[in-house]
Homo-oligomer: A and B are copies of this chain.
Amino acid sequence: MAQSQHRTVPDEVTGDLYAEIQTFYARQMRRADALDIEGFADTFTPDGEVVHADGGRTRGRDEMVAAMRARLPRYQGVATQHWFGHLLVERLADGALGVSYYTLVAQSEGGGLSFQPAYTVDDVLVREPGGALLTRSRIIRRNTPGQR
């Protein structure tokens, strides 16, 4: 089979970009899992929006921080790790990056490890003037049975 220059991904999704996005999420999730709410919110644009699986929605960092603080009691004494997989990256028309991924939330309490139901997430990432990535929007959906 002849080798071709064409690739499965758009030429602009380079290995450098893919590694940069994985690194961005690795830092963002460490903040979430450390309950560093303000640090986590700083990885979103000031007007960043999140739509949660239960339909809840926050717009902007203040609403995000308030909602996360309200949920804190659920995380006391619980060690959480958000895991991501199967990242798909595409360049959007306005120059932003659309990134979709699977996510599992593992929680250790006492001696066991348990998992929340699985989710699929669709993010839009943008670059601030200095060049660092920020999340402009996040839509979290419960993983649901395929339909046939």
Give me the interface of A with B, judged by CB distance under 8 Å: 1-9, 13-20, 22-27, 29-30, 33-37, 72, 75-81, 83-89, 95-96, 101-102, 104, 106, 108, 111-113, 115-118, 126-133, 142-148
Given contacts A4-B127, A95-B1, are A25 and B86 in contact (CB under 8 A)?
A: yes
Q: Which of B1, B18, B95 contacts A22 (CB 8 A)?
A: B18
CB atoms of B14 and A80 under 8 A apart: no
Q: Please, which residues of chain B bring their CB within 8 A of the CB of A80?
A: 143, 145-146
Chain B residues with CB below 8 A from A37, complex form? 148
Please give, as numbers and ranges, the residues of chain B lying within 8 Å of A2 by CB-CB distance. Answer: 129
Chain B nearest Cβ from A66, distance in angstroms: 14
